[in-house]
Amino acid sequence: MARKIGILTGGGDCPGLNAVIRGVVKSSIIRRGWEVVGIRDGFDGLLYNNRIVPLGLNEVRGILPRGGTILGTSNRGNPFSYPVEVDGKTVLTDVSDEVVANIKKQGIDALVAVGGDGSLKIALELMNKGIPVVGVPKTIDNDLMETDVTFGYNTALETATDALDKLHSTAESHHRVMIMEVMGRYAGWIALESGISGGADVILIPEIPYDISAVCRAVDERRRRGSSFSIIVVAEGAFPHGGNRVVQKRADETNTIERLGGIGQYVARQLGDCLDMDVRVMVLGHLQRGGSPSTFDRCLGSRFGVAAVDLIEQEQYGRMVCLRGRDIKSVSIERAVRKLKLVNPGGQMVTAAEELGIVVGRR
């Protein structure tokens, strides 16, 4: 049975990470008398002893309402494909043996990996090399299978919906088409739910390649009905029918994750060709990742942290905690990361949007 637990937060940050850290620390120390250490900057920290720090009750006091993560994070520190300088060139190298050796040297009996699908895949690989691991699902994108929702998503939705509320007044005052680009990568959950909640007129998501003529018709019809403005929410991974995603930086030898962004401006240019209205774009960006976590995310993060320690006590390694209905369950990490959880184009959420008169860009 574990006596010393390590915890790291990998991938993009989001509200609620500190609630998980706090849950792991308090549950381990108060209920079990175990020791907890934090690994700074995601999997990067496992390569360096000075990035492994003790976490006691004093270290987690007052962090529940704080956004971000007190441990720091990174989405580029994959130890199985780590950038190393060799003869002036960056080469991706497998340094996982060093990570495994360092974990054992530190006397860490089990590792709690908090992250999205990328971080959990790395955790699974470490598990296959003999490191006892449990996973905690984290992403504002809500695209992890086997959990009804990930923490961080609810707060991101609140931020996006609040922004839409504010955009309505300025759009109406100036008779403009306002486009708000939101995060979500290849999943349209943030765009769809915030768009419905914020009263958007058009919502474009990756799961439904859009027809720009359908968007133009929707704006024109609103204008004919007397609405002098329109609000469009577009997910960063959305793309036109027959076209490609807009990316800021493509994946290459040293960066396996492509950086999405720019679809808002692309849609604005397309609308400029078919409308005689002023079109403005707002990229909500990293505001969605920041701020104090919502009540829901604080509670879910805390519950996930406690459940992760329970799994370690039961020696159920290789599993990820998850939310099913109102109950915390667990599932194998391998099953959880087998594919992304995407919006069903014919599902109830999309159908509800269309029945509200929202155009989703179908041909």
The set of catalytic residues is 141
3-state SS of the chain is: CCCEEEEEECCCCCCCHHHHHHHHHHHHHHHHCCEEEEECCHHHHHHCHHHEEECCCCCCCCCCCCCCCCCCCCCCCCCCCEEEEECCEEEEECCHHHHHHHHHHCCCCEEEEEECHHHHHHHHHHHHCCCCEEEEEECCCCCECCCCCCECHHHHHHHHHHHHHHHHHHHHHHCCEEEEEECCCCCCHHHHHHHHHCCCCEEECCCCCECHHHHHHHHHHHHHCCCCCEEEEEECCCCECCCCCCEEECCCCCCCCCEECCHHHHHHHHHHCCCCCCEEEEECHHHHHCCCCCHHHHHHHHHHHHHHHHHHHCCCCCEEEEEECCEEEEEEHHHHCCCECCCCCCCHHHHHHHHCCCECCCC
CB 184 within 8 A of CB 191: yes
Q: How far apart are CA 283 and CA 325, in angstroms?
A: 33
